[in-house]
Structure 1
Amino acid sequence: MVNCCGLVSEKNEPVPLKSISVELQVQDHVASVRSCLQYVNEEERPLEAVFVFPLPADAAVCHFSARIGEQEIRAELQDRQSARDQYDDAVSSGQQAFLLEESEESSDVFRLSVGCLSPGQNASITIVYIIELSVQADHALRFCLPAVLNPRYTPPQNSGASALTTHQIQVNLSSGHRFEKDVELFLYYENSHQPSAAVEAAASAAQSGSLMGNPALMISLYPEFPADVMSSLASQGEFIFVVDRSGSMDCKMHHGNDAQMRIESARDTLLLLLKSLPMGCYFNIYGFGSHFESFFPSSVVYSEDTMEEALKRVKSMSADLGGTEILQPLKHIYSQPCYPDHPRQLFIFTDGEVWNTKEVLDLVKSHVYSHRCFSFGIGEGASTALITGMAREGSGHAQFITGTDRMQPKVMQSLRFALQPAVDNISVDWTVPEGVTVDMLSPPINTLFQGQRALIYAQIKGQSSGQTEGAVTMKYRLNDQPVTNQLQFTLKPTEDTGLTIHRLAARSVIRSLELEERAGRADAENIRRRIVELSVQAGVSSVHTAFIGVNKDSKQTVKGPLLQRRVPVPLCLNPRTLSGRLFQSLGAKCEKALPPLVNFAILSTTKSPEFCDLREQAEPQKDPLLQLVSLQKASGCWELNASLAAVFGKTEDEVTNQKAVDGSVWATVLALIWLYAFKSDQQDEWQFVAMKAASWIRSQKPNGLSQCVCDGNVLLGCQVTEDMLGI
């Protein structure tokens, strides 16, 4: 079956999506997004269509409406089954109806049903959601408009004290933009590490005492890590690398001519990781698809022998394991006993989605006290719910590699996080006037790493007779040292904020309740009722509610049988599993289904199918940096040989004339000089390689080291000092 992007029929014929316009409003650390989608039924018969589309994980959908001609239909949030029943009744009686519901398997996938569009009729659909903006390595806040929704793999046996600051942003994409990658916006704030607090007024019509009927408070905590903490790295741990080897990993990293295949980039990344690990730690590597494989039965001690054995297997890794099933390898990993004094660090790489996201996240969360989970989403279609969820539930850090991003620097940044001290023992205390109380709405925060920020939601109850100021004291430990931040805030709420804070707070509570329900609590039915009640009260989506809109004012009903259409999603096809004739046939159908690009608003885009470029490529030239890294020993040193000389652009005779120090010391000094002189812009990729090398040189206590550095600079034509090399 072919999967394309857009609204299509069971015969793979398109329902034209004429345009998408997106308006973005940023308030402090959160964004409100209004997306308008315009469809037209160009059939000669009435139409029912279904559109499956991605939203960011933990987005809170808070508005859904449709306009047909001059008639606007504003949807109501109701119990999911009740909404479905109303939709079916309306469509069967010929009324126009719209249904928006969240996927039961993953919180970042929504399903929109459009019922009874008459021939030639236009429908404009508006969806509004709010979301917390993620923090990047350079402290920017990132908003991403996803370009594609990758296929959901389903196994055969399953069915599948600062005020709010508002910024208006306008971006116009050029005519003919194909939307082949995500649209990203980055915002930079001054004093980004300064804690902030914002109070939002209650909803005027809400019942006092309810979540919406009292002021809500949002606290931003973004700890700053001093330089001495950043340089403090652990030398122990168990490092387990879990790599997606499904067929889609044979896709390119991006659409440029020089793009690597995803599996190739993963192999290069594993090379860097294996060379960067500290001696004496434990490690293992898993590959997963429809089934999983591990390099070793259990984690092994990192040594020259085990590193070389792992590297040989890395070189032969292919995207040959079928679909994407991550639950079983995780269960196997968690069944293995941990090593005392070696904290378990899990690194997970995937470019897609799984059919049982929530089950995976529950499993990670149940082992949060025995490990940390660092996750990496490769390509535009990686599930944000899966990637950010695993990192959140595993007290780790999530990274996304999109567009022309290189995988290696982001992964090495996470390795630094894994080896660095983290913020823990986090507590929040409130100082408020008599008669006022503050109730926490967010779940407890266990850990924060450098570059991570937490938004904490709370509810303010009661009234003060006089004072209008409150304070929050946040305490935590960093590198075993206590840190205290106190922040003043006004109890006088900010008006006209669109209830953004309240709705994100409600979303946080709903997610916690959904987790309790999935844990199999005895009072699951009561929890479900609480979720529905809070979802309807706050006007934000949940797994147990749906938006339903019916055009009851229509003077005429739609007659005749409806064409039923279901949306497929982009598919990255593996040439190993398809004949050339079949692939060409599927490709032709997808090209036919590409909707036209019509007009633009704030952000105007149209979706296009994502296919891998499967043409044979010439073998790319090996990256000199990776060549150098591949030659390093596990201990951190290099050997003097022709392969190393070739990296420097020299012959073996040219690099063997130095007699002041041992050959391995000389080779290692040359490697360090070359890195600092010629690859300084990629230092975040080779920093651990260099640290191991410098540590090894110091352990040798060589004589004549200064002369060795001078000779190395002369040979390579550089001016690098001993201090720069750290030796």
Structure 2
Amino acid sequence: MNCCGLLTAEKEPVPLKSVEVELEVRDHVATVVSTLNYENKEDKPLEAVFVFPLPGDAAVCHFSAKIGQTEIVAEVKEKQKAREEYDDALSCGQQAFLLEESDQSPDIFSLNVGSLRPGESASIRLEYVTELAVQADEGLRFCLPAVLNPRYHPQGSEDVCIQVTSVPASLVPYSLSFSARVSSSRPVSKVESNCPLDALQYLNKEQTQATVKMTAGHKFDRDVELLIYYKDAHQPTAVVEAGQASAKPGTLMGDPVVMLSLYPEFPQAMMSSVASCGEFVFLLDRSGSMAGSRIKSARDTLLLLLKSLPMGCYFNIYSFGSSYEHIFPKSVEYSQKTMEEALKKVEEMGADLGGTEILMPLKHIYSQPCIPSQPRQLFVFTDGEVDNTKEVINLVKRNSGSHRCFSFGIGEGASSALINGLAKEGGGHAQFITGTDRMEPKVMQSLRFALQPAVMDISVKWDLPKGVSVTALSPPITALFHGQRSLVYAQLTGQSSEAVEGCVTVKYSLAGHPSQNQVHFSLKPAEDTRLPVHRLAAWTLIRSLEMEERECGGEQEEGVKKKVVELSVQSGVSSAFTAFIAVNKGDGEVIQGNLVLRNVPAPRMMACCMPMPMPQYCNSFSPVIHMMDNYYQLDDSESCLPKQPPRTPLLQLVSLQKASGCWVLDPALAAALGKTSEEVEKPKPASVNQEVWATILALIWLHGFKKDAQEEWELLAMKAVSWLRAQNAPCVTECVEAGNALLGCNMRKDDLGL
């Protein structure tokens, strides 16, 4: 076969036959129930091992197995004990099931189905809860990861783990059925997906409840992405969930837990003034897996970013693979000269640097001293196929006091643990670019966030009736962005016979001005037997403690680890130090014969135009491949992927803008506007200089022909308007009228911001 990737060894049978997924979304919390159906069609007992991805922020809270009429519910136990119990069960001829999280990355899990008798079937039920991220267009994003791309294993790593089998996505041997139920206090306006869906079915006349199913026959060969839109969704809310009746009062699971959703609204005066300072560091993945459209899209995005930076700021561009490069030895002041030098180097960038070793360039960036009065903003672009995820996130957290980190996961299979972790620990914002998504609008939204003044001195104050106390479960808020959700979890202990309402006030300082947002909420808890809010709160606390454990040592480290294990066992939520274990002790019949190991392949996205030698896996748990990316060390010019089209008219016009914000009247601008030089020069009012005329024409063209892409060019247009105002140019109204006549538009001065 002329297709890259690994096949199951010698086309061995795959015991996983189908995956059924039921999704329930309430506002922005998703509960996911996956059922994996196994069948042993061989004449020997099997052990099936499946290594697969989950969302990086999934709180896995239930695991059970059903064989015939027997259901075995798994328990959460300390990881080493669970592994020993699993091995002991298999050696005694019993059936056992083990589910555990990777030591290296919290978005990869391993499922061992032990001792499946000949002809026997088993259904494995896995349940998790997760928060849905808010997208640039205000939709809520749910992603069911199918694709598990090989994670690059940094040289010198010596982790001991297990083998992973993967195949090209088109060869996945099991099917997927997927259904979703969405409910909210606000109407559901629409649900979109990258996979074919049946029509949305509303369950009530208020349209606050709806169901949707994936069209039958879908192969599980790509990540399933769902975008859910509510009417007026972005309102501050607080949900109080009642504790577990069987749990002891005073414990996290026994007390009510509140989930607070904040959507801070900053004063308009603050939002209209864009910061003219900052150090902008762009870190671009140039590993082999970024080849083709990914690297081209990244180059186009860097063009837009560089044109949109404010005068007076500083910047630098790093790129990395197995090694790393930087355009300037240290960040330089933004000017026409430095912008042109950077853009020339960006044009030459290919996906030709080998593997995905992101740690070393990050260390180098953090070793550079910060520039006084220029807050550092780091933008990371990667397809996220790294193995040492936790190490990378720890490094960002240790340096979070000196910068904000904005991350972009590019393509199917990008590690959500890495992309979300970078932004969360770096006080920034994460975006995912998959399928036919365009990178540019998402990146420009993050640049707008980066240009917002940093919010300082954030504090959360709870006003509760006498007799009720609060324990924060979330780490302190370190970043707030206009209109972007922040989540806070807290445990409520005690009872009050008085008021049934509580209040939370978030205070902060914005550009030196004190500000606050307030949320009032009912203290009457809602019952939910699945306890999704408690599970998410426990997961949030577990992740904070795991981070703390990696930063300390000795006895203190062991103490934190013990706390994590206790909390994980109490809440039933998995962690880095625990695993789910289920043993079938029911019928007492010992399984005879040696077990045959069958690895269930996970789908992988790769360019299928190159025959490729089979890479060597290290003996490791996470899907680690030595030098996988190096098979893709091709410049786009050498690649067998289709040639990329020339720049779009929008990018052609953008590329001609000067760093100051103006355009120059020359043949290149005329061509970008679809005119000849003579047609462009002739209508210019006599008293107006050429740059003013050229800049007004460019603004008219952008507003007249590219309104649908305004989020991409809005910042560079603001820069152009600022430049025009500084010129105190005469005859602006006359210029706009003449420009309209030339370009066939109908813009007013106000439309252009003039």
* Displacement of 1:315: 0.7
Distance across 2 between alignment mates of 1:16 and 1:170:
31
> Quick one: structure 1 residues 488 and 726, their matched pair in 2 at CA, closer, same or farther if it must change by over 3 Å?
closer
Residue 197 of structure 2 is matched in structure 1 by none
Q: Which is worse superposed, 470-479 or 612-621? A: 612-621
Mapped contact 2:16–2:600 kept (Cα < 8 A): no
Find the residue that maps to 2:303 and give its secondary structure: helix
- 1:301 and 2:333 aligned: yes
Question: In 2, distance between residues paired with 1:133 and 1:539?
Answer: 21
Letter in 2 for 1:194: Q
| Equivalent position to 1:484, from 516, 519, 534 | 516
**2: distance between equivalents of 1:464 and 1:229?**
41
Deviations 1:402-456 (CA, angstroms, capped at 9, x unpaired): 1211100110111111111354433222223333211111111011112421221
Given the alignment of the two structures, is residue 235 of structure 1 paired with residue 267 of structure 2, yes or no?
no
Cα 1:176–1:25 shift into 2, 3 Å: closer
Distance 1:13 1:653, change over 3 A: farther
Q: Does residue 527 of the first structure (1) align with residue 526 of the second (2)? A: no
* Residues 217 and 29 (structure 1), Cα distance of their counterparts in 2 relative to 1, 3 Å cut: same
The alpha-carbon distance between structure 1 residues 293 and 568, as it changes in their structure 2 partners (threshold 3 A), is farther
Match of 2:744 among 694, 707, 717: 717
Cα 1:719–1:433, aligned 2, differ >3 Å: closer, same or farther? closer
Match of 2:728 in 1: 701
1:655 equivalent to 2:695? Answer: no
Against the structure 1 CA distance between its residues 355 and 615, is the aligned structure 2 distance closer, same or farther, given a 3 Å change threshold? same
Select 1:206's aligned residue among 247, 264, 288. 247
Q: Which residue is 1:371 aligned to?
A: 403
CA contact (8 A) 1:97 1:116 kept: yes
Q: Mean alpha-carbon deviation: is it higher for 511-520 or for 187-196? A: 187-196
Cα drift, residue 465 of structure 1: 4.3
Q: CA deviation at 1:388?
A: 0.8
Q: Distance in 1 between matches of 2:611 and 2:223?
A: 31
Tell me the residue number matched to 2:151.
152
CA distance in 2, matches of 1:470, 1:641: 64
Quote the Cα distance in structure 2 between the aligned partners of 1:236 and 1:193: 30
Q: Distance in 2 between matches of 1:485 and 1:694?
A: 33
Cα distance in 2, alignment partners of residues 289 and 396 from structure 1:
23
Which residue matches 1:80?
79
Residue by residue over 1:252-291, the C-alpha shift from the partner in whole angstroms, topping out at 9 and shown as x without a partner, is xxxxxxxxx1000000000111111112211110111111
- TM-score, normalization: structure 1? 0.89
**One-letter amino acid matched to 2:274:** L
Contact 2:52 2:146 in 1 (8 A): no
Deviations 1:207-259 (A, max 9, x none): 232211222122111112444332121001110000011111015xxxxxxxx
Match of 1:665 among 692, 699, 704: 692
Offset at residue 153 of structure 1 (A): 1.0
1:289 paired residue number: 321
SS at match of 2:122: strand
Mapped contact 1:477–1:483 kept (Cα < 8 A): yes
Give the AA of the match of 2:140: L
One of 346, 357, 364 as aligned partner of 2:389: 357
Shift of 1:555: 4.1
- Structure 2 alignment gaps of length 5 or more: 160-182, 187-207, 616-633
| Structure 2 CA distance for partners of 1:388 and 1:168, relative to 1, 3 Å | same
Aligned to 1:21: 20
Task: Check conservation: 1:153, 1:353, Cα contact below 8 A.
Answer: yes
Cα shift readout 1:18-46 (whole Å, capped 9, x = no counterpart): 22211122233312111111122233322
- Structure 1 residues 89 and 168, CA, compared in 2 at 3 Å: closer, same or farther? farther
- Cα gap change, 1:3 to 1:361, in 2 (>3 Å): farther
CA offset at residue 681 of structure 1?
0.7
For 1:105 and 1:526, the matched residues in 2 are separated by 21
SS in 1 for 2:212: coil
Secondary structure of the residue aligned to 1:15 is coil
Q: Distance in 2 between matches of 1:281 and 1:581?
A: 46
1:89-132 per-residue CA deviation (whole Å, 9 max, x = no partner) reads: 11222221110001111111111111111223222111000111
Secondary structure of residue in 2 paired with 1:170: strand
Q: Which residue of 2 aligns with 1:625?
A: 650
Residue 171 (structure 1) aligned with residue 203 (structure 2): no
Distance in 2 (CA, whole Å) between partners of 1:554 and 1:79 is 27
Residue 532 of structure 1: how far off its partner (Å):
0.6
| Local SS of the residue matching 1:339 | coil
Which of 511, 536, 546 aligns to 2:569? It is 536
Task: List aligned pairs for 1:294-693, cutoff 5 A.
Answer: 294-522=326-554, 523-567=556-600, 569-571=602-604, 580-582=610-612, 615-657=640-682, 658-660=684-686, 661-693=688-720
Closer/same/farther in 2, CA of residues 698 and 466 from structure 1, 3 Å limit: closer
Q: CA separation in 2, counterparts of 1:238 and 1:487?
A: 35
Deviation at 1:11, TM superposition (A): 4.2
Tell me, yes or no, if structure 1 residue 215 matches structure 2 residue 256. Answer: yes
**Higher mean Cα deviation, 99-108 or 132-141?**
132-141
Unaligned runs of 5+ in 1: 252-260, 587-611
Secondary structure of the 2:401 match is coil
Distance 1:228 1:438, change over 3 A: same
Rounded to whole Å, the distance in 2 between the matches of 1:388 and 1:98 is 30
Kept in 2: contact 1:248–1:572 (CA 8 A) = no
The count of aligned residue pairs is: 685
CA distance in 2 between partners of 1:451 and 1:489 (Å)? 20
- Tell me the distance in 2 between the aligned counterparts of 1:276 and 1:620: 23
Would the alpha carbon gap of residues 432 and 637 (structure 1) be closer, same or farther in structure 2, given more than 3 Å must change?
closer
Partners of 2:356 and 2:209 in 1: CA distance: 39
Q: In the alignment, is the contact (CA less than 8 A) between 2:15 and 2:48 conserved in 1?
A: no
- C-alpha distance in 2 between matches for 1:339 and 1:475: 28
CA distance in 2, matches of 1:91, 1:119: 16
Mapped partners of 1:412, 1:207: distance in 2: 49
> Could you tell me whether the CA contact under 8 Å between 2:285 and 2:381 is conserved in 1?
yes
Cα pair distance change 1:513/1:73, threshold 3 Å: same
Output the aligned Cα RMSD. Answer: 2.5
Identity within the alignment, %? 61
Tell me whether 1:124 sits opposite 2:126 in the alignment.
no
Shift of 1:389: 0.7
> Which residue identity does 2:92 align to in structure 1?
S
Q: Which SS does the other structure have where 1:325 is aligned?
A: coil
TM-aligned CA deviation for residue 165 of structure 1: 5.6
Partner amino acid, structure 1, of 2:586: D
Give 2:236's aligned residue.
Answer: 195
The 1:688/1:29 distance shift into structure 2, 3 A limit, reads same
Contact 2:264/2:517 (CA < 8 Å) preserved in 1?
no
Counterpart check, 1:277 vs 2:305: no
- Report SS of the residue matched to 1:512: helix
Q: In structure 2, how many angstroms separate the alpha carbons of the residues matched to 1:107 and 1:153?
A: 16
Report the residue type matching 2:749 in the other structure: E
Q: Hey, what does 1:593 align to over in structure 2?
A: none
Corresponding residue for 1:256? none
8 Å Cα contact 1:193-1:223 kept in structure 2: no
- Secondary structure in 2 matching 1:219: strand
